[in-house]
Structure 1
Amino acid sequence: MTLASYANILTRYDLIGASEVKEIKVTSKDTVIQEIMQCVIEGDTDAIGGLVEKALINMDPLKVIDEGLIKGMGEVSRLWADGTYYLPQVIIASDAMLEGIDLCEAKLGKKMEKKGVVVTHTAEGDIHDLGQKIVNALFRANGYEVIDLGKDVPVDDVVAAVKKYKPLMVTGTALMTTTMTAFEKISNQLTHAGIDIPFVCGGGAVSNEYVTAYKLGVYGKDAQQAPKMISDVSNGFSWQELREKYN
């Protein structure tokens, strides 16, 4: 049989109705800042560069970052939490935000000040890093520097990165039960080294029972928890307090 119409073959079904659900709750009196926020929310990487460069002609780079890029990504976080946005929208919005921040930092001549550092990775032997990418985007949207170690990361490399960057938190994701065992090995090495920070672990294979069976472990049930968790850690929560609150 042949199709009567081929019009829908390349349709982005995840974006159908997007304009209807985008009731944006962040606004600015400055039209350029508003357009920058809109670009981030829509993940428009083609337009974001020109708009940011236009804003930087007369505007402080930090204002562009705080009032345009960060606020726009904050709205993306809200849409994600509401179940309106999914992985594709979060990733492309993060790409747009980071492109804009790079231009602003070039204008500043230095990196913008971050609230703190987070080390993220996908477990050794595991290449399923979609969950990690979402978490990275949400951390960055909330003003944290993310040391993204990538996927299939050896245990020793994670421990070395924690020692090097001294993060507020380290996170790990795993889809397979055969790979999540790396998390306990990381916990043991960090504990042996006297490093006492939250190690938030999540992913399809991971359970609350498994993660809370070893020191430092905090179970991350959903990526939506990431901004709340890192905020609590920034405010002085220990891994025990974080576990008590979320697990």
Structure 2
Amino acid sequence: MRTNNIKFLFCLAITVLLTLGLSISLQSLLAAWAPPAASPPACALGSPGCDEPLNISNTAQMKAGMLTLNTGGNVNGLIVDQGNVGIGENSPSASLHVSSLTASTLFRVDDSGAGDTSPFIVDGDGNVGIGIDSPAAKLHIVGTAGVDGIIFPDGTFQTTAGGAGGSLWTESGSDIYYDSGNVGIGTAAPGAPLQIGSYTWLGRGASWANPTLSITSAGDRIVFYGPTGTYKTAIG
């Protein structure tokens, strides 16, 4: 009789322990997951658990050292679907906010091809360079193929300046003038203040049916010629 009581008590104890264990396990499975409430504890770099102190949490964390992404060959290494990203900026005010305490290059795009000339760069002075890594103006474009310049939405374009730039013409209100040297149209070596092709225009005049008109000086006279060089009239 006593032996049966001992067996009964032993079986009852085992049943209670199993029931308690299953209950605790079931509660653990059903419990809602809660993220960590604080950053990992500080410790010396190189110590176990200190090389990669990042976890899933809403709490701000800091990673001392390099952080490498996309080592598993995934297409997307990092996605930020909400909020702003700051590089050198603790309070970014844009989707991507790059800041520097020194006058250093803020943004640079390179390729790995031969003869790379820095396709795009924004330096510390706010200058933008396309095809040059040291832009000397707010927008500095350098190219070697095709027509160098800026194309506007209406289809027109403005070529870039060569050499030191500048202009020989002077503006005065709505007029422009050239007060030294000769001007050639259709000729690279004008021999008069205004020379059109092989014809020279020294003053004002009117043309006939064929608009090509040559006005030249002959001693103390002004001689008018037609487009074929035939003498027409003279003044003086």
Q: Same fold (TM over 0.5)?
A: no
Shorter-chain TM-score category?
under 0.3
User: Which structure carries more helix by proportion?
Assistant: 1
User: Which structure carries more strand by proportion?
Assistant: 2
Structure number with bigger Rg: 2
* Greater RCO, 1 or 2 (C-alpha within 8 Å, sep 6+): 1
